[in-house]
Amino acid sequence: MRIGELARRSGVSVRSLRYYEEQRLLTSERSPRGQRHYREHDVERVLFLQRLYSAGLSSRTILELLPCVDSPSLANAQAALERMEQEREKLSAHIAELLRTRESLDEAMAAARRHMLEEAQAPTAACA
């Protein structure tokens, strides 16, 4: 399939697909005219890359993890596992910070609601 079809099927822009190739996260075959051609399994590959990006992983980190995904072996599995554990710890810390931020926002919203209720219930001053 050509790049436009992969973009449509994966929901990713053509520009992103070119970037993935530039970063060596995705490969394509080239036609004699230089057009990119992808395989069926590249749709799942792109969706997998999107999930990793969404989780906050960088291109460099993803590139370090891909050998374990592409060719699992004892040699690269240990290094990849250690790297994934580091990324998981970073994600957990980020999630905890997001939860604290949401709690602070909830508290601020509750205070604003209390203030609005108090203002609505306060007696109005009589005009003289």
DSSP result, 23-62: TTSS--EE-TT--EE--TTHHHHHHHHHHHHHTT--HHHH
Average pLDDT, consecutive stretches of 10 residues, N- to C-terminus, the chain (128 residues): 96 96 94 93 96 89 83 74 85 94 97 93 66
Residue type, 11: G
Q: Enter the tokens of residue 73.
A: 């072996």
Reported pTM: 0.65
Residue pLDDT, tens place only, 60-81? 989 888 887 777 777 777 777 8
